[in-house]
Amino acid sequence: MDLKAFAKKLDRALFVEDEYKRYAYDDCALPIGFEQTISQPSLVLKMTGMLELAPDKSSKVLEIGTGSGYQTALLAEFSDSVYTVEKIKELSEKAEKRLGELGYKNIKYKIGDGSEGWIENFPYDRIIVTAAASKVPTELTNQLKAGGRMVIPVGPRNVQELLLITKDKEGQIHIHSDVNVVFVELRGKYGWTEKNQGDRFNGL
């Protein structure tokens, strides 16, 4: 089954609370609690596609922002292993339970600040960030393997550019800008902090 067919089969209702289940089959973002949202399926699919996971399912993937675990399921289905980091304990635990029930055994969960990556298991073939950063966290590009690909929304709080970052064989970073997107903010050391709260008014 290819990515598109799998995404169609994956029941998004399993990843949202009862009150939102009736919207689960619409192509819209939905709340997942704690002021966080799950993106619309078409965007999840697009971002996963941009990663170009190895066709033999050998990729080792780092995901920042586990959230509901919906995106994690897509990654886990088409890669060797997924390392997923979420800062909100309740969301991480809920996602782990759901994905465990779906039978995924190739996912490792961490509760913590994903803007710093997950250094213990680096390097990663692919990195996907599903929260908006004010700039590209160098900790993450450092943890990307040569020949690797990373997808991350970067920009001010109201709208971001979806970036595809590639690292060539020589370790050089190349950045390609794709569509505009709106994500909740990436917090933490290399994301948005209380200190730079006001920066969006300064054209950051």
16 in contact with ligand SAH (CB under 6 A): no
- Is 115 among the residues that bind ligand SAH (CB under 6 A)? yes
Written in H, E and C, the secondary structure of the chain is CCHHHHHHHCCHHHHCCHHHHHHCCCCCCEEEECCEEECCHHHHHHHHHHHCCCCCCCCEEEEECCCCCHHHHHHHHCCCEEEEEECCHHHHHHHHHHHHHCCCCCEEEEECCHHHCCHHHCCEEEEEECCEECCCCHHHHHCEEEEEEEEEEECCCCCEEEEEEEECCCCCEEEEEEEEECCCECECCCCECCCCHHHHHHCC
Distance between CA atoms of residues 64 and 122, nearest Å: 14
81 is catalytic: no
Instruction: Output 92 or 147, the one with its CB closest to ligand SAH.
Output: 92
Q: Which is nearer to ligand SAH, 56 or 111 (CB)?
A: 111
Site string (39-68) toward ligand SAH, x via CB under 6 A? -------------------------xx-xx
Piece of the chain touching ligand SAH by CB under 6 A; list 2-10, 36-44, 140-148, 171-179: 36-44
In the list 12, 36, 60, 163, the residue contacting ligand SAH (rule: CB under 6 A) is 36
118 is a site residue for ligand SAH (CB under 6 A): no
User: Which of 41, 117, 153, 191 is the binder for ligand SAH (CB under 6 A)?
Assistant: 191
Task: Please select the residue that binds ligand SAH; options are 43, 91, 154, 163, rule is CB under 6 A.
Answer: 91
Nearer to ligand SAH (CB atom), residue 68 or residue 79: 68
Q: Pairing between strand 124-129 and 60-64?
A: parallel
Residues marked as catalytic? 39
Interface with ligand SAH (CB under 6 A) = 32, 36-38, 64-65, 67-68, 70-71, 85-88, 91, 113-115, 130-131, 184, 186-188, 191
